[in-house]
Amino acid sequence: MSNLSSIQLLKKLVAFDTTSYKSNLELIMFVKNLLEPAGISITLNFNPEQTKANLLASIGPKDQAGVLLSGHTDVVPVEGQAWSSEPFQALIKDDKIYGRGTADMKGFIACAMHAMLKAAQMPELTKPLHLCLSYDEEIGCIGVRGILGLLSELIIQPELCVIGEPTSMNIATGHKGKAVFKAICRGQEGHSALAPLYVNAIYCAQSVVEAITTTQKQIAEGPIVDMDYDVPYTTVHVGKIQGGKALNIVPNECVLDYEIRNVAEQNTESVQEKIFEYVEQSPYAKFVSFQEINQYPGLNTSTTIQAVKFLQTLLDPATELQKISFGTEGGLFHQQLNSAVLVCGPGSIQVAHKPDEYIEISQMQECDAFFERLLSHIKR
């Protein structure tokens, strides 16, 4: 039986470099080898290449609905970032723990593992506690989809899923969904001296950019808004454009990456339709094709349901309900399990994805206290 504290566990977790493009198997095996001997049942779900895995850990009665805790094991790259210390070696300084993934979101995973081990020592639980760990969240909530399909066979639909992304231990009931597309513009190559005789792929792309900015303007005027967000409407954004080889060649290809981040009341299809409509009106329409790259649904949990009240009783009374600007796997969990899904975890999103990412020790303690209260709720 491991007696590691959540902070000691966090140090171990940070030491595994689980940048999304790398394997997470060493971390997953560490979790399995720590939890399994304590009597916690473990299911692994591998990617097709067998280089990464999701993990489900469960303790408590199998025939009851319980609470599912969810975290992603992957972290964003540190390459090109100026870190003051070794990013994969947790450093404790000034009441903070520095290291890649401390806030997003190995701090939560460490506290959750600690809670699972405590639950395993309790004589009998009235409800099960599950911990679901995923891979490839940071590149579009890809990995978790592999285990989501299996969950309904493995466990009774949980009463509550807690996605432990960093909210400074506040409760988030929603976030926007996201869909990612490529617009591929194909023109005709030619000598620039004869430019008007050829179709310039960059001009085609310009018509797509115009369609996107016009669509955004229209959406911003309403009427579909959600005032809980800083930007209270669906956003459309071009993030990357690539085209042209040399000034004296009419470019034959230009590729544009764009995204739609939608509020719950507006689906991404309707926004995509608007963009199509505007592109159709342009003389370049027939040179443009679209490709959907990835999407995940938003989350929009009602603030008045029992699960919210329950979670509030386990947290600081000053805890606020909020909606968050960033996406999580929560929408997918809700879609698959139809459980109440809330986002609540230690650390701040403000320091995530940056050099010198950290989590405050007080946040780890708050999360431990939260799990303490959760455990006393499910013990007989």
Q: Which residues bind Zn ion (CB under 5 A)?
A: 104-105, 165
Rounded to the nearest whole angstrom, what is the least distance from the CB of residue 165 to Zn ion in the complex? 5
Distance CA 317, CA 169 (A): 11
State which residue, 119 or 341, has the beta carbon closest to Zn ion: 341
State which residue, 165 or 259, has the beta carbon closest to Zn ion: 165
The residue count of the chain comes to 380
State which residue, 22 or 379, has the beta carbon closest to Zn ion: 22
Rounded to the nearest whole angstrom, what is the least distance from the CB of residue 220 to Zn ion in the complex? 28
Rounded to the nearest whole angstrom, what is the least distance from the CB of residue 117 to Zn ion in the complex? 23
Cα 302 to Cα 50, 157, 158, 299: the distances in Å are 38, 18, 17, 10
Rounded to the nearest whole angstrom, what is the least distance from the CB of residue 104 to Zn ion in the complex? 4
Look at phi and psi of residue 263 and say left if phi exceeds 0, alpha if psi is from -120 to 50, else beta. Answer: beta
The DSSP line for 309-349 is: HHHHHHS-TTPPEEEESS--THHHHHHHH--EEEE--SS-G
Phi and psi angles of residue 300, each rounded to the nearest 5 degrees, phi first: -150, 75
Rounded to the nearest whole angstrom, what is the least distance from the CB of residue 72 to Zn ion in the complex? 6
The DSSP line for 209-251 is: HHHHHHHHHHHHT-S---TTSSS-S-EEEEEEEEE-S-TTEE-
Q: Do 77 and 19 meet the contact criterion of CB atoms below 8 Å apart? A: yes
Q: Fill in the amino acid letter for 232.
A: P
Position of minimal CB gap to Zn ion? 104
State which residue, 127 or 176, has the beta carbon closest to Zn ion: 176
Q: What angle do CA 187, 193, 194 make, to 5 degrees?
A: 50
Rounded to the nearest whole angstrom, what is the least distance from the CB of residue 86 to Zn ion in the complex? 21
Which residues touch 71 (CB under 8 Å, ≥6 apart)?
105, 106, 108, 109, 112, 131, 132, 133, 134, 163, 164, 345
Distance CA 99, CA 97 (A): 7
State which residue, 166 or 243, has the beta carbon closest to Zn ion: 166
Rounded to the nearest whole angstrom, what is the least distance from the CB of residue 359 to Zn ion in the complex? 12
Q: Is 193 exposed, middle or buried (0-12, 13-18, 19+ CB in 10 A)?
A: exposed
State which residue, 165 or 226, has the beta carbon closest to Zn ion: 165
Rounded to the nearest whole angstrom, what is the least distance from the CB of residue 75 to Zn ion in the complex? 8
State which residue, 67 or 105, has the beta carbon closest to Zn ion: 105
Rounded to the nearest whole angstrom, what is the least distance from the CB of residue 166 to Zn ion in the complex? 7
Q: What SS3 class is residue 59?
A: strand
State which residue, 105 or 109, has the beta carbon closest to Zn ion: 105
Q: Fill in the amino acid letter for 7.
A: I
Distance CA 73, CA 227 (A): 32
State which residue, 10 or 219, has the beta carbon closest to Zn ion: 10
Residue 104: DSSP 8-state:
I
Rounded to the nearest whole angstrom, what is the least distance from the CB of residue 97 to Zn ion in the complex? 16
Signed CA dihedral, 353, 354, 355, 360: sign only: negative
State which residue, 141 or 378, has the beta carbon closest to Zn ion: 141
